[in-house]
């Protein structure tokens, strides 16, 4: 009872959403490292397709059974399909495929550009206007990401970067459409997570099998896939979508912009990579940018016409 009262408080709900975003960042930070390790056993599209199909099956028993899904309008189903296509097929499919040609640090640097895409798309699509302080935070955070990953950026890998760049557009679309659906509160958090997973995994897996062939059994490869499905997909995206009920799209994206830093930590912990002085300065700069964005209050006028606030 006390917990419900606390969560009903607007400020407490925002703090909980920020905590969920931090946890999402800590988990997502390990994804690129685990995927790079899994690429020794399975193809990138196969890893992605299996991960999302398994995550959907894990969430399926917990979906609402009271018939609400059958009463969703076709427009809502179309948006959920676009989320599945944008984030899971185009976004992460392209990202994991691009990792065959570029280092994880380069991929993380490119991912740090997403907050800018979401910021501008959010202004046009969701009418969510950032405050001056939040705008400064976005710029500072992106500058820190560039500084942090500048030693590992290699311009001689145009193919991989071009593939990942296509994925960035899909991931940015997920942040906008997912936020739009979440703030309408017509879809519960589990369904908002599971249904696009089903669309994404169901579309991507046949494509993966046709391009990469049927996967051979590998105990280590399947351990990576199961871990990515349970922890880095099912759990993390439930938290992500729930946090989007309180945080604006660009706020959540800038918070998740810490992911490259966490990726660097996991790479150091699992692969023995070390951080240089420039990277440490970049880390502090990115954290400062995230703090500025979370510190700045959401503009109360920055809501869609007729829609509920974030």
What domain count does the chain have?
1
What pLDDT, on a 0 to 100 scale, did the predictor assign at position 153? 66
Q: Mean pLDDT across the stretch 60-72?
A: 70
Q: Quick check: is 8 in a domain?
A: no
Q: Mean pLDDT across the stretch 74-95?
A: 87
**What distance in Å separates the CA atoms of residue 60 and residue 191, rounded to the nearest whole number?**
9
Name the more confident of 247 and 294: 247
pLDDT level of residue 9 (50, 70, 90 thresholds): low
What pLDDT, on a 0 to 100 scale, did the predictor assign at position 8? 54
Q: Quick check: is 7 in a domain?
A: no
Name the more confident of 293 and 227: 227
Q: Quick check: is 54 in a domain?
A: yes
What pLDDT, on a 0 to 100 scale, did the predictor assign at position 299? 41
Query: How many CB atoms neighbour CB 159 within 10 A?
Result: 11
Is pLDDT above 90 for 210? yes
Q: Quick check: is 255 in a domain?
A: yes
pLDDT in tens, 224-255: 999 999 999 888 878 887 887 788 766 776 77
Is pLDDT above 80 for 43? yes
What pLDDT, on a 0 to 100 scale, did the predictor assign at position 223? 92
What pLDDT, on a 0 to 100 scale, did the predictor assign at position 10? 64
Q: Quick check: is 302 in a domain?
A: no
Q: Mean pLDDT across the stretch 120-138?
A: 76
Is pLDDT above 50 for 302? no
Q: Quick check: is 239 in a domain?
A: yes
Q: What is the DSSP letter of 89?
A: I
Q: Quick check: is 303 in a domain?
A: no
CA atoms within 13 Å, Cβ hemisphere of 174: 26
Q: Mean pLDDT across the stretch 19-36?
A: 89
Question: Across the chain, what does the average pLDDT equal?
Answer: 79
Give the domain extent around 250: 16-295
Query: 70-89 b/e with 16+ CB inside 10 Å = b?
Result: eeeeeebeebbbbbbbbbbb
Q: Quick check: is 4 in a domain?
A: no
**What distance in Å separates the CA atoms of residue 220 and residue 274, rounded to the nearest whole number?**
25
What pLDDT, on a 0 to 100 scale, did the predictor assign at position 271? 75
Is pLDDT above 60 for 256? yes
DSSP letters spanning 241-295: HHHTTTS-HHHHHHHHTTHHHHHHHHHHHHH-----HHHHHHHHHHHHHHHHHHH
Name the more confident of 7 and 226: 226
Name the more confident of 21 and 254: 21
């Amino acid at each position: 009872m006390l917990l419900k009262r606390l969560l009903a408080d607007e400020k407490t709900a925002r703090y909980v959403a920020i905590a969920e975003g931090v946890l999402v960042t800590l988990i997502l930070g390990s994804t690129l490292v685990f995927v790079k390790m899994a690429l020794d056993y399975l193809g990138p599209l196969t890893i992605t397709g299996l991960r999302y199909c398994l995550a959907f099956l894990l969430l399926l028993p917990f979906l609402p059974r009271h018939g609400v899904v059958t009463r969703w309008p076709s427009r809502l189903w179309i948006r959920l399909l676009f989320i599945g296509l944008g984030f899971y097929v185009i976004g992460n499919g392209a990202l994991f495929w691009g990792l065959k040609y570029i280092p994880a640090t380069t991929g993380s640097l490119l991912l740090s550009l997403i907050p800018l895409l979401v910021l501008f798309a959010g202004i046009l699509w969701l009418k969510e206007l950032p405050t001056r302080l939040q705008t400064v935070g976005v710029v500072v955070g992106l500058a820190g990401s560039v500084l942090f990953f500048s030693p590992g950026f290699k311009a001689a890998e145009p193919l991989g970067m071009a593939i990942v760049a296509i994925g960035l557009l899909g991931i940015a679309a997920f942040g906008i459409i997912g936020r739009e659906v979440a703030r309408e509160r017509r879809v519960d958090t589990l369904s908002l997570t599971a249904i696009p997973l089903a669309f994404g995994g169901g579309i991507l897996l046949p494509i993966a099998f046709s391009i990469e062939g049927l996967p051979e059994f590998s105990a280590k490869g399947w351990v990576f896939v199961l871990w990515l499905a349970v922890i880095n997909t099912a759990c993390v995206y439930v938290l992500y979508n729930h946090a989007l009920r309180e945080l604006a799209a660009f706020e959540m994206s800038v918070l998740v912009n810490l992911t490259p830093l966490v990726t660097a930590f996991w790479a150091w912990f699992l692969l023995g990579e070390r951080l240089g002085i420039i990277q440490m300065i970049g880390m502090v700069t990115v954290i400062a940018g995230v703090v500025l964005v979370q510190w700045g209050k959401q503009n109360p006028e920055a809501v869609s016409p007729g829609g509920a606030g974030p």
